[in-house]
């Protein structure tokens, strides 16, 4: 999910994409929303590095808004960074 120039990605638990069947064999499965451990915020302006992580999407958005307010920016785009530098 994109939010104001940042990317918010869910991070799933270690065994979220597999399970054991009745014969105790590993079988693939699609991760569910209940398998999400936390959300990480990726900064595309910094080579897609992880910027920070929070427990919920709401917390991520709130922290992004707080950081942008401190920097005096409305979003995390090249145009905004160029305006900040001038």
Reported as a single tens digit per residue, the pLDDT across 10-52 is 999 998 989 999 999 999 999 999 999 999 999 998 899 999 9
Q: What is the mean pLDDT of the chain?
A: 92
Distance CA 13, CA 36 (A): 6
Find out whether 73 and 64 touch, Cβ atoms under 8 Å. Answer: no
The total of structural domains in the chain comes to: 1
pLDDT for residue 72 = 87
Contacts with 66 (C-beta within 8 Å, 6 or more apart), sequence order: none
User: Which positions ≥6 away from 8 have C-beta within 8 Å?
Assistant: 1, 2, 39, 40, 41, 42, 57, 60, 61
Place of tokens 């979220």: 16
pLDDT at 65: 95
Task: Domain of residue 66: give its range.
Answer: 2-85
């Amino acid at each position: 999910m994109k939010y104001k120039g940042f990317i918010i990605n869910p991070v799933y638990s270690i065994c979220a994409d597999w399970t054991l069947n009745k014969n105790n064999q590993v079988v693939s499965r699609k991760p569910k929303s209940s398998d999400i451990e936390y959300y990480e915020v990726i900064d595309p302006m910094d080579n897609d590095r992880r910027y920070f992580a929070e427990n919920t999407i709401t917390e991520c958005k709130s922290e992004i808004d707080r950081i942008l307010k401190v920097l005096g920016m409305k979003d995390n785009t090249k145009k905004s960074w160029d305006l900040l530098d001038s």
